[in-house]
Amino acid sequence: MEAAMEDAWIHSACDMCFAACGILVHKRDGIVVKIEGDPSCPASEGHLCAKGQAALIGLYDPSRVKVPLMRTNPEKGMGVDPKWQEVSWEDALEILTNKLIKVRQSDPRKLVISSFDQIALSYFIRPAWGIAFGTPNTDWTGYYCGNYLHASMYLTNGSFHSDFDLDYCNYAILLGNQQGFMAGLNANVAARKMAEARRRGMRVVVVDPVGTNAAAKADEWIPIRPGTDGMFILSIINLLLNELGCYDREFLSRRTNGAYLVDGEGKYIKENGTGAPLVWDQRAHTSVPFDREGSDPALEGVFQVGEISCRPAFQALKDHVKHFTPEKAAEITTVPAHTIRRIAKEFGAAAKIGSTIVVDGKALPYRPVAVNIYRGAGAHKHGTHTALAVQTLNMIVGAYYVPGGHRGVNLVGPGGRWGPGETAEGLITPPAAIGRGARYYDLEERPPEDLGLHELFPITTNRSPMYQINLHDPEQFQLPYTPEVLMVCRRNLMMNNVNPQATAEMLRRIPFIVTFSTHLDEVAEFADLVLPEAHFLERFDLFPNRPSHTMSPATGHFYWGLRQPVVEPLGQARRWIDVLFEVADRMGFLPDVYKLLNVTLEIKEPYRLEPSQRYPMEEICDRWTKSLFGPDRGIDWFKNNGYHKVPRSVEERYPGPFIRARFPIYFENMLRAKKSVAKVASQLGRDWDTSDYQPLPVWKPCHAYDGGAPPYDLYVVNFKLPFHSLSITTQNPWLNDLAEHHPYAYKILINAETAGRKGIRDGEVIWVESVAGKVKGEAKLTECIHPEVVGIAGVFGSWARGKPVARGKGVHFNTLLPISLDRIDPISTGVDSCIRVKVSKAA
Amino acid sequence: MCRHEERPPALRAVGEVVMSFVLVKVSYLGLVRNVIGCREEEIELNPGATVGELLAKLAERHGDAFRWSVFKGGGELRSMALVCVNDCDIFQLQGFGTKLESGEKISVVVGVYPPEGG
């Protein structure tokens, strides 16, 4: 009689993008045969995108790394054969441990870690390892979407992300992003909610140089010149404030710092003694502290406090935006002035200022409009100002954390477990739950000692491009050490950093590189040791998505789940964090890692980790879940049941009216940051441009805008496809198949009329060349791109021999970008990701 | 709970007088360890001593390298510095005013940066 066939559906979590949707994996007789969305997961509700469904074929990719490999060829370079030699795990660990012991004895800061793994691992466990080792350089994630975004969101909405309420929104402007169209936060949920919203009549306006997936489905696509989004938004603000008189007075005076009085230098006027910012009380006709009960703060006018002439911050904003006229904006953005006027009018009318709605028995302000931003609009020099302008627009109509409007992710936690902080001036700061140190009002004037240069870029949390710049020339910021060991944990620095030639030069200078990778990718070409990393279907990861960071309120729940291994690892593959824990044990600092995990994971008695003990990672996670949810919620419960879910109350979905801290429409802390940055730069003996540190958003041209001298007459930008995410998905054969059949994926988009002028025909192979590099690809002539722009889909253009599916497919966008201090956003360090190019037919 | 059960202070003879004192173990993690070169030590404090008093004593003991690594100019903790009593952040207790008892484990951590993301 035949043995019974194994036939099981297993709860786990996808890892094909950061949404980490819950999945059910169908396993038959030891083989994964199907992946579907997990109905118990609020992020997927039983649905799953193409990436998630295609993941299973990646599990069985024959080109995966199966054993540890050691380089024998000392020469390193793109395309140079490392002449790999197989080594045992024991030998590999000994090599790695010895290198780390040596570097730790010399100066622990010489170790650099690069990783971009799932949330709990990247944001809590790996940093604890780095601190215990003694290096501050653990956060090199490369050049990516969030460089400028997270800083701007923390500062304005107190959270990690930008989102908006699709349950009630009736009018949305998507500025260089595709939220709701299988991109961005909780993509599956957002796409379904977007479809429902469209059915009830929601209008979507996409402002983007490229006719993206979102633009194709929108009510209106407004092609805009790259890097000018800030001007577009500021002109809308001007129209609303100065022509249409359309703004939410109640919200601005009570829930923002709009009424705070500022002097001629832009600083708050403060009460003597308490230091509380003053407002002008229209009832008492005098200045009073901003939080005085019963006061009626003025938003407009000019007042005299003692000897000082001053005006409310909102008046300063009104005056400031006056010169951003639609006519001027039309010249800069190429969006006609009448279109800008129409959009401003539509947006203002749709905001329904003054209206309320009852949700779950509570009357709340109803502001069913939002302008949403993600990478595209802000990934330019001065991108922080674009994001602050966007947030200002949301705030002036009061569409902020109320039904229908903009919101961040999870400013408040379930049952009050976390909430926003508040400065002495009454302004919002991010909850401690998202991580210590995101304190935008807490400046330190001392020379930096980390590669990210924290003290030189205080108004951001994302400083990865500075790693690249510092590694290229470690002496330029007088860091007292030169990095000697680089550990790359599931990150392709060659593909995702700017300019592979420059990155290669930088990697060549690092004496020892170890990479944990599923493939012999572009980084492996420079590695001394390659360690086989487990595929996500072979991994155990607790809380791959965390409510405090990437979980949209659109899911209707707070939820916690795990990724459990569905099959045994291929060959000798292991998970990198387990290897690092073993190394820490060999080096004797694992007890310190445990101590830090007790703190950062807030593990309570009796589940705390005892430093003298040794725990497998599953037991650490078991203690963590029991500490959070009680003894009946160990990891076995999660393995069998999927998700622990807590429905969100109305206060948790729309916290705006329920919290005390105010939102800033005036960024007075920028003036303090400006001074602090100038002082730090002066300590480093550097002449530093601090002009972007100003309290109100502006539009300034990026290099590409000013750099149109012949023959570099076009802009190049990249864009996102819904079925690829990060460079690793390009090695998936099924997703490759989709890309090969997609009209844009592997092509170079050029406007048909522009191409006609240059004599380029559809399907011809063309060169696209910037001052930094050149790429070749097939021209796709289309009306769906701005006439001045060339478009290239992100993530493609791999060249590593160890990625046979991805190799040679599509075009590598980052090759075209240079890296220099001059081409980053001076506040966030975000890399300017557009540049002027020339286009020519390849012979 | 972060705190152990209350323990009696330790006793020590000083001449003919028996003095009570609090003995705590201090661990240094991250960048502060790099600059003071000390991993762990035991510190004697007067009964009723607070975290603030302990930190003042540590500053006196380890000098400017400790002060520079842990504090901002005004004596506040740097945003990347973390002080824990029994693996609990002092700001979840009573801050610098948190009273210490014998046998408690104090961690001084420097290098707690906010996470990047994408």
Domains by residue range for chain A, with CATH: 69-139+443-534+569-615 (3.40.50.740), 149-255+318-412+664-670 (3.40.228.10), 703-841 (2.40.40.20)
Pick the closest to residue B45 from B34, B35, B37, B55 (CA basis). B55
> By mean pLDDT, which of A220-229, A433-442, A768-777 is the weakest?
A433-442
Nearest Cβ partner of A108 from B27, B34, B115? B34
**pLDDT for res A726:** 84
Nearest Cβ partner of A436 from B88, B107, B114? B114
Contacts of A109 in chain B (CB under 8 A): 31, 34
Find, in chain B, the residue whose alpha carbon is nearest to that of A140: B116
**Mean of the pLDDT values across residues A442-446?**
87
**Mean of the pLDDT values across residues A559-580?**
96
**pLDDT at residue A664 is higher than 90:** yes
> By mean pLDDT, which of A292-301, A376-385, A546-555, B12-21 is the weakest?
B12-21
**Mean of the pLDDT values across residues A125-154?**
87
**Mean of the pLDDT values across residues A324-331?**
98
Instruction: Supply the mean pLDDT for chain A.
Output: 94
**Mean of the pLDDT values across residues A482-508?**
94
**Mean of the pLDDT values across residues A615-632?**
96
Contacts of A138 in chain B (CB under 8 A): 113
A361: buried, middle or exposed (CB in 10 Å: 19+, 13-18, 0-12)? exposed
Contacts of B89 in chain A (CB under 8 A): 599
**pLDDT for res A551:** 86
Question: Which CATH number does B24-110 carry?
Answer: 3.10.20.30
Nearest-Cα distance to chain B for A594, in Å, is: 10
Residue written as token pair 């935006």: A321
Give me the residues of A, 10-49, that contact B with CB < 8 A.
Answer: 18
Contacts of B3 in chain A (CB under 8 A): none
Task: Report yes or no: A644 at the B interface, CB cutoff 8 Å.
Answer: no
Distance of CA B107 to the CA centre of its chain: 6
pLDDT classification of A377: cutoffs 50, 70, 90: confident
**pLDDT for res A432:** 78
Nearest Cβ partner of B109 from A122, A131, A150? A131
How many CB pairs below 8 Å do chains A and B form together? Answer: 111
**Mean of the pLDDT values across residues A147-167?**
91
**pLDDT at residue A4 is higher than 90:** no
**pLDDT at residue A422 is higher than 60:** yes
**pLDDT for res B4:** 47
Find, in chain A, the residue whose alpha carbon is nearest to that of B31: A134
How does DSSP assign A22-39, residue by residue?
EEEEEEETTEEEEEEE-T
Nearest Cβ partner of A116 from B1, B34, B118? B118
> By mean pLDDT, which of A40-49, A254-263, A801-810 is the weakest?
A40-49
Q: Do A132 and B29 touch (CB under 8 A)?
A: yes
pLDDT classification of A678: cutoffs 50, 70, 90: very high
Residues in chain B whose beta carbon is closer than 8 A to a beta carbon of chain A? Answer: 1, 27, 29-31, 33-34, 68, 72-73, 78-80, 82, 84, 87-89, 107, 109, 111-118
The encoded tokens of residue A615 equal 């725990």
Q: How many CB atoms lie within 10 A of CB A522?
A: 30
**pLDDT for res B57:** 97
Nearest-Cα distance to chain B for A770, in Å, is: 26
Nearest Cβ partner of A549 from B34, B87, B117? B117
Kind of pairing, strands A747-751 and A774-782?
parallel
Task: Report yes or no: A117 at the B interface, CB cutoff 8 Å.
Answer: no
Nearest-Cα distance to chain A for B29, in Å, is: 6
Q: Do A604 and B1 touch (CB under 8 A)?
A: yes
**Mean of the pLDDT values across residues A575-590?**
97
Q: Do B113 and A454 touch (CB under 8 A)?
A: yes
Nearest-Cα distance to chain B for A527, in Å, is: 24
Contacts of A122 in chain B (CB under 8 A): 115, 117
Q: Report the distance separating Cα A165 and Cα A167, nearest Å.
A: 5
Q: Do B27 and A438 touch (CB under 8 A)?
A: no
Task: Report yes or no: A656 at the B interface, CB cutoff 8 Å.
Answer: no
Indicate the helix (H) or strand (E) that contains B20.
Answer: strand B17-30
Q: Do B87 and A549 touch (CB under 8 A)?
A: no
Higher pLDDT, B10 or A211: A211
Global confidence as pTM = 0.95
Contacts of B116 in chain A (CB under 8 A): 139, 141, 146, 150, 461-464
Q: Do A160 and B117 touch (CB under 8 A)?
A: yes
A713: buried, middle or exposed (CB in 10 Å: 19+, 13-18, 0-12)? middle
**Three-point CA angle B19, B21, B24, nearest 5°:** 160
**pLDDT at residue B24 is higher than 90:** yes
CA A93 to each of CA A96, A578, A782: distance values in angstroms, whole numbers, following the listed order: 5, 12, 53
pLDDT classification of A276: cutoffs 50, 70, 90: very high
**Mean of the pLDDT values across residues A769-785?**
97
Contacts of A598 in chain B (CB under 8 A): 87
Give me the residues of A, 551-610, that contact B with CB < 8 A.
Answer: 592, 595-596, 598-600, 603-605, 608
Nearest-Cα distance to chain A for B55, in Å, is: 19
pLDDT classification of A462: cutoffs 50, 70, 90: confident
Find, in chain B, the residue whose alpha carbon is nearest to that of A133: B30
Nearest Cβ partner of B33 from A134, A550, A599? A134
Q: Do A598 and B87 touch (CB under 8 A)?
A: yes
List of residues 6+ apart from A199 with CB closer than 8 A: none
CA A673 to each of CA A429, A526, B71, B74: distance values in angstroms, whole numbers, following the listed order: 16, 39, 19, 17
Contacts of B34 in chain A (CB under 8 A): 107-109, 134
Q: What is the residue type of B37? A: G
Contacts of B33 in chain A (CB under 8 A): 134
Contacts of A135 in chain B (CB under 8 A): 111
Q: Under a CB-based contact definition with an 8 Å cutoff, are residues A202 and A169 in contact?
A: yes
**pLDDT for res B117:** 58
Residue written as token pair 């002008």: A280
pLDDT classification of B7: cutoffs 50, 70, 90: low
Contacts of B111 in chain A (CB under 8 A): 130-131, 134-136
**pLDDT at residue A743 is higher than 70:** yes
Q: Under a CB-based contact definition with an 8 Å cutoff, are residues A544 and A15 in contact?
A: yes
Residue written as token pair 């705190």: B3
pLDDT classification of B1: cutoffs 50, 70, 90: very low
**pLDDT for res B12:** 67
Give backbone dihedrals phi and psi of A51, rounded to 5 degrees, phi first: -60, -50
Q: What is the residue type of A390? A: V
Contacts of A450 in chain B (CB under 8 A): 113
Nearest-Cα distance to chain A for B112, in Å, is: 7
Q: Do B118 and A108 touch (CB under 8 A)?
A: no
**pLDDT at residue B14 is higher than 70:** no
Q: Report the distance separating Cα A420 and Cα A261, nearest Å.
A: 24
Nearest-Cα distance to chain A for B33, in Å, is: 8
Give backbone dihedrals phi and psi of B70, rounded to 5 degrees, phi first: -100, -35
**Mean of the pLDDT values across residues A268-286?**
96
